[in-house]
Amino acid sequence: SQQGEEDPQALSIQEGENATMNCSYKTSINNLQWYRQNSGRGLVHLILIRSNEREKHSGRLRVTLDTSKKSSSLLITASRAADTASYFCATEENNTDKLIFGTGTRLQVFP
Amino acid sequence: KAGVTQTPRYLIKTRGQQVTLSCSPISGHRSVSWYQQTPGQGLQFLFEYFSETQRNKGNFPGRFSGRQFSNSRSEMNVSTLELGDSALYLCATSSTDGYTFGSGTRLTVV
């Protein structure tokens, strides 16, 4: 399967703590994207990092990309109960409009 | 601007029946892609359309088909439904900054 792997599968933390999720992928990529999904609803785009970028920030989100290791991480700082959701990484292969998703991390933030 | 609209939101069908799902992309967007999400297989790419042409196709049987109309609206069809087709079906449009997904159609096959 081309599907990427994410770890951990599940993560439980207290409000205010940081949450880190990791993603590994298998092919050459144009970019890597992170999405959030609440309770089986649609996916919400969080951040996109291009293959020539190493780090990107957006609000409380920080994403890193290491193309030599084919891996990425998503850090959510100062987490809130509203951050409770599943988080997916997705890679877009060169010359395609096709996303390959990771297996996802279920994040639970307790108030 | 309006987002990606999928209809219907929920659907229950019997094995052997066929089903058609609809997706209207963001106005002006010409690319529509479809994904299937199941607990066992996760999010899997089905196919992608651009200007009424299928550009990419995932590894799904021929029972899964789609099309796109001149107004960029897209439909996907699943014939001879099987229990394993029960899933959340998501469509999306792409831009240089990422993809915008609809809320999905949850299909249950009984």
Give the per-residue pLDDT at A1. 53
Give chain A positions within 8 Å (CB) of B31.
Answer: 97
Pairing of strands B10-13, A61-66: unpaired
pLDDT-above-70 percentage for chain B? 98
Give chain B positions within 8 Å (CB) of A102.
Answer: 42
A100 touches chain B (CB under 8 A): yes
- The answer, yes or no, to whether residue B1 has pLDDT greater than 80, is no
How much is the mean pLDDT over chain B?
Answer: 94
Average pLDDT score over residue span B51-63: 94
Give the per-residue pLDDT at A2. 59
pLDDT tens, position by position, B66-96: 999 999 999 999 999 999 999 999 999 988 8
Cα dist from A15 to A82, B19, B27, whole Å: 9, 43, 38
Contacts of B7 (CB under 8 A, 6+ apart): B21, B22, B105
Q: Is the Cβ pair B104, A42 closer than 8 Å? A: yes
pLDDT-above-90 percentage for chain B? 87
Are B91 and B6 in contact by the 8 Å Cβ rule? The answer is yes
- The answer, yes or no, to whether residue B2 has pLDDT greater than 70, is no
Give the per-residue pLDDT at A92. 87
Dihedral through CA B81, CA B83, CA B84, CA B90, nearest 10?
60
β-pair partners for A57: A62
Give the per-residue pLDDT at B94. 87
Give the per-residue pLDDT at B97. 80
Q: Which residues of chain A have pLDDT under 50?
A: none
Q: Is the Cβ pair A101, B42 closer than 8 Å? A: yes
pLDDT-above-70 percentage for chain A? 97
Give chain A positions within 8 Å (CB) of B39.
Answer: none
With 0-12 / 13-18 / 19 or more C-beta atoms within 10 angstroms meaning exposed / middle / buried, residue B5 is middle
With 0-12 / 13-18 / 19 or more C-beta atoms within 10 angstroms meaning exposed / middle / buried, residue B15 is exposed
**Which amino acid makes up residue A11?**
L
Give the per-residue pLDDT at A44. 95
Give the per-residue pLDDT at B14. 98
Average pLDDT score over residue span B55-66: 95
Buried b (16+ CB within 10 A) or exposed e, B33-59: bbbbbeeeebbbbbbbbbeeeeeeebe
